[in-house]
A and B are shown apart, each in its own frame.
Chain A
Amino acid sequence: MELSKTVNQSNTIITEKKYSPLKEFWKNWKRQKTALWASFFILLLIIIAVVGPYIAPYDPYKPDYNSMLQGPGSKHFAGTDEYGRDIFSRLLVGSRISLSVSFLSVFLGAIVGTILGLISGYFGGWLDRFIMRSSDVMFAFPDLLLAIAIVAILGPGLNNVVIAVSIFSVPSFARLVRGATLEAKETVFVEAAKSMGASHFRIMFQHILPETLGSLIVFISMRIGTAILAASSLSFLGLGASPETPDWGAMLSLGRDYLGTSSHVVMMPGIAIFLTVLAFNVVGDGLRDVLDPKTKNE
């Protein structure tokens, strides 16, 4: 932390902290109690996603026909599935799949959408009309249907789920960034940069992009929840992860036949998806209140 010295009236030297956006953010973030807890939960999930395969008590792929469909107990914390596989171990390993699929798809969508939005808002004219009309065409397909159509073309599989979910995220990000760019390009500092001969690339990425970051971060956090739901829905429909993969959606899809007799097979992955999406939505709400005061929800 940089410190500057000022002299007060009685000539004693006092130290004064310089403004730090990060510190300001943390001060406001601490006030968002629920969002703070949700962010700790997400942090824990990320740690689990990283170390999950190493700390899992059982092999998540290995069937054990002597312990099929056992309820939660001391030996199997979350019970076992129809092949006798430990559900807790599958959930731990599955967290890596769910988080990486959703993070990757949202970030890919955000990168492409942001670049298109910046270009569209900054240059205007026919380029703007072309990008916005193309996004209108994409908006003509409901999100999940678009993802289903893309997976139908590319074939089932997690890689294609990432592509499908990122494609349906692109127009939303493009719209959001275009709006923010239109506002930012009218500001004095962009005018100043232009008059100093800064290149279009520099103005877009060094001056305008930081202005859109607040709304972008909020939107990314909210889209991650949507992406987890979309990816697990595709897996549930048999269009995502293959059935033996410990993906939360695929686990739910396999377990539904046993709902009547062994409900834990469906309950456990369902709770995992629900809590994860809930945490991202709560964090998204909190971030919006802190970073994007214009859309602040009282």
Chain B
Amino acid sequence: MLQYIIKRILEMIPILFIVSILIFFFTHLIPGDPARLVAGKDATLEEVTIIRAELGLDKPIWEQYGSYMNHLFHGNLGTSLKTGLPVMDLFVDRFMPSIYLTLFSMVWALVIGLLIGTLSAVFKNKWPDYFGMVTAVSGISLPGFWLGLILIQIFSVQLGWFPTGGAEGWKSYVLPSITLGAGIMSMLARFTRSSLLETLKADFIRTGRAKGLKESVVIPKHALRNSLIPVVTIAGLQFGFLLGGSVVVETVFSFPGMGRLLIDSIAFRDYPVIQAELLLFSLEFILVNLLVDILYSFLNPKIRYVA
């Protein structure tokens, strides 16, 4: 097990390395001169040249990458062109709200998705199943930004239950979390249903029922536990969907998180922030996939990973 975890971590290194190269070179392809942006429209050519040298942009691109990586290993993500502040400082206030938002969305999506999926499977072809699956297909098809706007209109503007934006207090997380988690919840409900239906056909379930076990024991203890394996995998893979979706949801709710910062940075072409954000997002995504693989092996004792 430990060997497997070490192997997976070692595998992550070259991927992260290639990702960092891609992000660095791609962000340098963004049109526009960063030195000109910092200097302002009225700056003279000399001023722009001085700023370019200060930013190290006059050096060959490989040298720039080397210096970027060197700084990265020392915890220095660069300086924002827009604010002049270290990128790390910009992340400090925004990182945790985004993580909370993603986690809240995933937690409610998992709980409700599992519940709907289980009820649909147990009451197959009855009204809870039809209701659950209509909800699931609709949830996958809903544009997140539209759902967010409707929720703001109903629960913030008309009923006044929740704030329309910001990240102050638990109330400001409710509507963004619902919006962000809706798609994942629907996907998980569908996977839970099909996975549970498959498990319910298994011999050990028939044995359990033949022994006279109650359905309240067979379903949660025997069937659901075994059905969770593919569901956990899907949940992990969908984490990326949440990271991408958070950009849209944070924009709708004026949520001061990483996603909104990315959009603001793109608008200003603040490439040190853009590249640091993209790197962080991919690191998060790769780490979550690793965690999912580890959890997968815990849930399914049949799986014996050989490093």
Contact = CB atoms under 8 A, between A and B. Distances in A.
Interface stretch (B45-53, B77-85, B136-144, B206-214): B136-144
Contacts of B18: 137
Given A142-B240, A232-B143, A259 B153 contact: yes
Interface residues of A toward B: which range? 35 or more
Interface string A136-148: 1100111111001
B27 interface: yes
B274 A237 contact: no
Interface of B (DSSP majority class): helix
Interface in A166-210: none
Nearest to B241: A142
Contact of A270 (B146, B152, B243, B266): B146
Interface string B15-57: 1101100110011011100000000000000000000000000
A129 interface: no
Contacts of A116: none
A277 B245 CA distance: 17
Nearest to B239: A142
A285 B18 CA distance: 36
A236 interface: yes
A281 B149 CA distance: 23
A237 B251 contact: yes
A143 B240 contact: yes
Contact of B285 (A133, A140, A238, A281): A140
B91 interface: no
Given A232-B143, A298-B194, A148 B149 contact: no
A153 B197 contact: no
Interface string B265-307: 0110000001000100110011000000000000000000000
A239 B266 contact: yes
B5 interface: no
A278 interface: yes
A149 interface: yes
A137 B137 contact: no
B278 A149 contact: yes
A155 interface: yes
Contacts of B142: 274, 277
A278 B186 CA distance: 13
Given A142-B241, A274-B146, A297-B190, A237 B247 contact: yes
A144 B251 CA distance: 14
A144 B30 contact: no
A274 B282 CA distance: 29
A83 B31 CA distance: 32
Interface string A219-261: 0000001000100110011110000000001001100100110
Interface in B117-164: 124, 137-138, 140-146, 149-150, 152-153, 157
B263 interface: yes
B285 A141 contact: yes
B98 to A, nearest CB: 13
The 7 closest A-B pairs by CB, nearest first: A144-B244, A142-B240, A270-B146, A278-B141, A142-B244, A277-B141, A140-B282
Interface of A: 133, 136-137, 140-145, 148-149, 152-153, 155, 225, 229, 232-233, 236-239, 249, 252-253, 256, 259-260, 263, 266, 270, 273-274, 277-278, 281-282, 285, 297-298
